[in-house]
Structure 1
Amino acid sequence: MSQINSLFVTRLYRAALSDHGPAIDPMDLEASCYSIAEDDGAGQKWCEENGYPGYTSYASLTDLPWRFPIFADLVASLDAHVAAFAEDLEFDLEGKALTLEDIWINILPEGGMHASHIHPHSVISGTTYVAMPGGASALKLEDPRSARMMAAPARRKEAREELRTFVYARPQVGDVLLWESWLRHEVPMNMSEEDRISVSFNYGWG
């Protein structure tokens, strides 16, 4: 009898942010994101100069947990989620914890998108979702072997999720998604008239 095994699995962690750490009111987090964006002149300037749709604090604010208590609470929660994911991945961390490297706000208006990318020099990356109006885009994840598939035919549309070239993860407000930082991903165009708001982050080791 033949045997078929799944090898070299790519893991995607999904949980409610509230499963770990301090309770965080999504409305308070959303209000904080807008307040920070309004006051962050350097971030607004960077977005304008670089043709970035909407707003991101990635290039301007590196100390959100220090500046705003709600982000300190958020990091406490994320630390626990990342530790749980690292355990699932069976990482040998040699007694060291994965630690936050950076955390930033993303506010994508109608028509905004994030092109396909990875997060070099990090171990685990992720996003927690603050506002996901109807029509807001999912997170699009790409099979990391795509460049090596050469003459492989396309998958059937009804193929099992683990065999698809692209997987669309549709988060809800309050969800946290984690993946290994080498996993290529993107945010397709926001088709909603309302803002899609998220907070993204990277964790490193060593």
Structure 2
Amino acid sequence: MSITSLFVTRLYRAHLSQQGAIDPSELENSCWAIANDDEAGQAWCEDNGFPGYTSYASLTDLPWRFPIFADLVKVLDAHVAAFVADLEFDLDGKEIKLEDIWINILPEGGVHTSHIHPHSVISGTTYVAMPDGASAIKFEDPRLQMMMAAPARSKDARAELKAFTYVAPEVGEVLLWESWLRHEVPVNMAEDERISVSFNYSWN
């Protein structure tokens, strides 16, 4: 008898420091400074019922605004290159390059609902502040909508067989995944803000 796994979904997890040094305090302070000054972003969050703050809809130039973000992009580029090599893409002479990068500050009770990033190849997040009780990121099996008649998995099923996987990252870690993978951030149960920096890479 032979049983193999087909159509594998890869998740990259590493510490930023494996590809370069980033000062976590400086990065957190810069996130707060940008959030406090970004009136357009604050207005967008209020108008759209978005909990806390995100720069996703307002700022496209974080690496220009603060040198720490320029340094961060260089480190992320190296991590993404390692992940792309693992995925064995045929890039046909093109490159996987940063498309956008943004800040997320999620307060107690805040959520980021389930979504994908349809116009990108690689998406990811690095974690700036994860207080006790901060929510893990939740990934969904991309085949879930096609399992209409399948029974639920047992509670102790292997991680790769579960319909949902929760990853609780630490400050300074980076997670990368292919952009079609649906994900969400459940309710933040921490009293303090959960801070992360998310990003997309596209094929140019």
With the shorter chain as reference, the TM-score category is over 0.9
Q: In the aligned structure 2, how far is the partner of 1:181 from the partner of 1:71? A: 22
C-alpha displacement of 1:96: 2.3
Counterpart residue identity of residue 110, structure 1:
E
Which residue of 1 is the match for residue 182 of structure 2?
184
The equivalences for 1:158-173 within 5 A come to 158-173=156-171
* Corresponding residue SS for 1:99: strand
Q: C-alpha separation between the residues in 2 aligned to 1:186 and 1:150?
A: 22
CA distance in 2, matches of 1:92, 1:68: 34
Q: What corresponds to 1:62 in structure 2? A: 60
Alignment of 1:72-83 (within 5 A): 72-83=70-81
Shift of 1:66: 1.3
Deviation at 1:144, TM superposition (A): 0.2
Normalised by the length of structure 1, the TM-score is 0.98
Question: Which residue pairs with 1:30 in the alignment?
Answer: 28
Q: For residue 150 of structure 1, what is the aligned residue in structure 2?
A: 148
Q: Is the 8 A contact 1:83 1:97 kept in 2?
A: no
Contact 1:140 1:168 in 2 (8 A): yes
Percent of pairs with identical residues: 76
Give the aligned partner of residue 8 of structure 2.
9
How far is 1:95 from its partner?
2.8
Which amino acid in 1 is paired with 2:15? Answer: A
What whole-Å deviation, never above 9, does each CA across 1:33-81 have from its counterpart, x for those lacking one?
Answer: 0000000000001001111000000000001011111000000000000
- Structure 1: gaps (5+ residues): none
CA–CA distance in 2 between the matches of 1:116 and 1:164? Answer: 17
TM-score by length of 2: 0.99
The correspondence of residues 41-120 of structure 1 with structure 2, limited to 5 A, is 41-120=39-118
Counterpart mapping for 1:131-142 below 5 A = 131-142=129-140
What is the alpha-carbon distance in structure 2 between the residues aligned to residue 96 and residue 137 of structure 1? Answer: 36
Aligned with 1:28: secondary structure? helix
Q: Secondary structure at the match of 1:38?
A: helix
1:147-200 superposed Cα distances (whole Å, 9 cap, x missing partner): 111100000000000000000011000000000000000000000000000000
The secondary structure found in structure 2 opposite 1:103 is strand
Letter in 2 for 1:12: L
**How many pairs align?**
204
- Once residues 145 and 180 of structure 1 are traced to their aligned partners in structure 2, the CA distance between those partners, rounded to angstroms, is 15
Whole-angstrom distance in 1 between the partners of 2:115 and 2:42: 22
Aligned residue type for 1:17? L
CA distance in 2, matches of 1:112, 1:95: 42
Q: Distance in 2 between matches of 1:96 and 1:25?
A: 32
Distance 2:151 2:95 in 1: 42
CA offset at residue 13 of structure 1? 0.1
How much does 1:97 deviate?
2.0
2:127 aligns to what?
Answer: 129
